[in-house]
Structure 1
Amino acid sequence: MCDERLSRGAVCPLLLPTPRRHLPRGLRRHEWARSIECRVTAFQTGSSFSAPQASDNPPAIILGGGDIAVPVARSLGSAGIDVHALGTTPDPIRHSRYCAAFTDLGAGQGVQERWLEWLQHGPRGAVILPCNDDGLELVARNRQTLLELGYRPVEGRDDVMLAMLDKGRTYELARRAGLETPRSIEVRTNKDIDAAAGDSTYPCALKPLHSHLFAKRSGTDAKLLVVHDRSALESGLTRLLGLGLEMMVTEIIPGGEDQLFDYHSYIDRNGEPLFHFTARKLRQFSIHFGIACYRVGEWIPDVAEESLRFLQGAGLRGLAYVEWKRDARDGRLKLIECNHRFTPLGPLMERSGIDLPLLVYNQVVGRPGPPVDSYRRGLHLWDPEKDVRAFLAYRSRNEITLAQWLRSLLHRQTLPIFRWNDPRPTVAYCLRLFVRAARVLTGRSRISRGTPEHWKAENRQLAEP
């Protein structure tokens, strides 16, 4: 039985990293006070005291992640750890005061090869933390090379990491553990299309087996495409397979957005969880089949139990995220996906009292803590830009009114990127939105034939109704 409160011993501040001088003044005072407290304790007990220096903290290298990477950098940078980020031009992390160095290596095809080339000359001894699937795949396929170069890759079993990047394999592991998944058919070649079309009920969803490859090659940020008849399914699969993608045709589990649940944990070397964190989605964008733009932290016991059952059954070690949906037909949880890395839940977990990036970092370097005895519940994570767009889409379908939307926001909100002591990532993000909107309004945003954007425009009939 999972327990929301896990008994963990307190960690002496001596074992935690020491901040650098350039950190915000309030943080320096806090760490100075902790150092004095430990000095007093050492004097009273007669033990020796030797405060760790910034040089004792191996640097951290963040691989990709976009917005997800920002709270990771803030957590580690606040603890006095040099953060090196590899990303692309629009990434807000490049503007964060907690990012010691940013290298623009682009995204898309060949990004893993470019990262590996950079790592040939990167800071030795650094902890490597993937914030997207490309980073995770790089670690899983090149762990031995990274170790030989002197790096410390994030903890995990590489075969399980790769399995979690393949939704077909993920579902197979879930069913082997006795858990339920959506009814699905894998489509890896053109020969599989007829069987999938004949066995599917409509509407159904076309879902990529490898999400990071789908994002690169299709030019859409959608998680899946919904089709309403056999003709749309066949044409959609033919086009997607032509892009070198492997797909899955899956049933659409009935139920609202508020029946989608998240679980985060860290499974140690003995297969035991260091904490449990659960949350409920409230709205998504794109609506019904997109990414959460509003969610709340709640303790949901059966989500924690089923998630731990899946993770231990799969043999996963390290950082883990599991998504579920409760089926409106029978009330049972169905596995949606599992990610072996940091996710957009980071700011909500931080606000709730779980410093996940520092916990992961300390596990890699062999330090204890920070301990997680409990966390605050009922806190909300709100993405204003995406939620406004979601509201307009929901209202166009008469699924929500303005009054209902406003009432749902009458809580103290946690924002994905904004922090008063580190505002530049938010400023850069808003400027990018402004420029994008201006291009659309002035007609300067063009879609060229043959580009992924053109493919996306041609296939709007495959998107959700």
Structure 2
Amino acid sequence: MNHKAVILGNNYYIGLSTIRSLGAEGVHTVAVDYSEEDRYGAASKYCSESLLVPHYKTDTEGFINALIDYAKKQADKPVLIPCHDTYLEVIDAHLNKIKEYYLIPQTEQGLATRVMNKDTLHALATEHGVRVPETVRIHEPNFHDRVENEIKYPCLVKPFDSPSFVATFRKKIFKVHNREELDEALAMAKDADLEVFVQRIIPGFDDHMYTFDAYLNQESKITHWTTCQKLRQYPINFGASVYTIQKFTPELFDIGSKFLEGIGYKGFAEIEFKKDEETGEFYLIEINARITNFNHLLYKVGLNFPYITYREMIGAPLEPKSVTETTNRAFWYGYEDALAVKDYIKSGQLKTSEVVKSLFRPKAYAIWSISDPKPAVAFMKTRLGKLFGGRKKARR
């Protein structure tokens, strides 16, 4: 296998998991970042090569040119795998140019951005008959009345562009309980020049969050898939997965496969659903158009999505496979799960006994690996440095 795999974004465990998933199969992996800071993924023994490039936002042209210059030096086209939404947005915006030099599953420029953007995703889902939570846009007539009577409080103020919102506010949404809080949230979004909308909260605890994880080939047909259930998130209720189990939920295949194939999607995608605890109906919440947070869990249950992507891109696709039984294996990001558990218990949403009971499962860890410990050591050094560095500053 002479094609290298270029992984964008290794200062988070998605990049680390991708490097491990590919390196374990003998693929030459290249960790690409804009800074040495916190890039613990590049510390993996499965990282074959490390590269620094200009920042994808502050010097987008330099970033794209650096990627192209690297690819030009290779004997065979590398496979490009973005592991963060912001990288994916930039690659998607320049897809027609960059795909001349890299192997990339998605061939339609703009489609990845359309499924990441909440407004265009809402329209696509509605067009294809997929349920989405009721929504009111801020410029619609009788906005406040509709929020109060149709959406009802509490409700969510959500961004169209999630990566920019998270980068600004360090959270995915604003939860508001009355008109005063709503207007305050809207003002904050306006000041940050971010477009938002208001959405109904689908009733149900965090364990009502499910995912459909799938790979679609170049004919936009699903070849590999499974389903999972989130148990805990951080920040709690509206955050990223920190404890998730693989659980077979056949209804999600029926909904998710029809939708992804219907829009002509290619490559890996993860659809997040929430199950309404009152009606049992599934609502599409969002789509991750890049490798997911709990990629290592999927790897452990037999679906190596980075390698599935790599093999199809080099013209040697793997045999189709689906995991249609419940393995009960769990993904665990212990560092943030500890923070989440503290908040769940403090808010009365979980009991300590429930948390302890949930942990008795075979696990796929976000960072720790006994056979590849250096990334975990690098991660802890950084966290301890920030912790004690912050305390020193406070004492001064």
Note whether the superposition's TM-score is higher than 0.5.
Answer: yes
Provide the residue aligned with 2:13 in structure 1.
67
| Aligned partners of 2:275 and 2:282 also within 8 Å | yes
Provide the residue aligned with 1:32 in structure 2.
none
How far off its partner does 1:120 sit?
3.4
The one-letter amino acid paired with 2:248 is W
Provide the residue aligned with 2:47 in structure 1.
99
| Aligned partners of 1:227 and 1:233 also within 8 Å | yes
Cα distance change of structure 1 residues 355 and 390 upon mapping to structure 2, 3 Å threshold: same
Provide the residue aligned with 2:266 in structure 1.
317
2:216 to 257, 267, 292: 267
| Aligned partners of 2:226 and 2:322 also within 8 Å | no
Distance in 2, matches of 1:208 and 1:143, equals 24
Matches of residues 61-460 of structure 1 in structure 2 within 5 Å?
A: 61-64=6-9, 66-87=12-33, 88=35, 89-105=37-53, 109-110=57-58, 112-124=60-72, 125-148=77-100, 150-187=101-138, 192=139, 195-200=142-147, 201-216=152-167, 218-220=168-170, 222-369=171-318, 371-372=320-321, 374=323, 377-442=327-392, 444=394
| Aligned partners of 1:355 and 1:370 also within 8 Å | no
How far off its partner does 1:302 sit?
0.5
| Aligned partners of 1:197 and 1:233 also within 8 Å | no
Distance in 1, matches of 2:324 and 2:262, equals 26
SS of the residue corresponding to residue 231 of structure 2 reads strand
The one-letter amino acid paired with 2:82 is P
Deviations 1:162-187 (A, max 9, x none): 21121111011111111110111234
How far off its partner does 1:362 sit?
1.2
The one-letter amino acid paired with 1:165 is M
Distance in 1, matches of 2:92 and 2:256, equals 22
Distance in 2, matches of 1:178 and 1:131, equals 29
Matches of residues 19-38 of structure 1 in structure 2 within 5 Å?
A: none
| Aligned partners of 2:211 and 2:229 also within 8 Å | yes
Identity %: 26
Distance in 2, matches of 1:209 and 1:68, equals 23
Distance in 2, matches of 1:263 and 1:374, equals 11
Distance in 1, matches of 2:122 and 2:394, equals 43
Larger strand proportion, structure 1 or 2? 2
The one-letter amino acid paired with 1:132 is H
- List alignment gaps of at least 5 residues for structure 2: none
- List alignment gaps of at least 5 residues for structure 1: 1-16, 18-56, 447-465
Distance in 1, matches of 2:120 and 2:213, equals 20
Deviations 1:365-389 (A, max 9, x none): 2112165254772111111111111
How far off its partner does 1:336 sit?
0.3
Deviations 1:280-306 (A, max 9, x none): 000111111111111110110011211
Provide the residue aligned with 1:24 in structure 2.
none
Cα distance change of structure 1 residues 365 and 271 upon mapping to structure 2, 3 Å threshold: same
Count residues in correspondence: 384
SS of the residue corresponding to residue 378 of structure 2 reads helix
Deviations 1:114-159 (A, max 9, x none): 42131132133211111112222223222221134x2222334323
| Aligned partners of 1:105 and 1:111 also within 8 Å | no
TM-score, normalisation: structure 1: 0.77
Deviations 1:54-100 (A, max 9, x none): xxx21111122621011111122223322222224212212112222
Distance in 2, matches of 1:181 and 1:350, equals 29
Cα distance change of structure 1 residues 105 and 185 upon mapping to structure 2, 3 Å threshold: farther
How far off its partner does 1:194 sit?
7.7
TM-score, normalisation: structure 2: 0.90
SS of the residue corresponding to residue 198 of structure 1 reads helix
| Aligned partners of 1:193 and 1:234 also within 8 Å | no
Provide the residue aligned with 1:49 in structure 2.
none
Cα distance change of structure 1 residues 114 and 225 upon mapping to structure 2, 3 Å threshold: farther
Compute the RMSD of aligned alpha carbons: 2.2
Distance in 2, matches of 1:108 and 1:244, equals 20
Cα distance change of structure 1 residues 111 and 251 upon mapping to structure 2, 3 Å threshold: farther
Distance in 1, matches of 2:59 and 2:7, equals 14
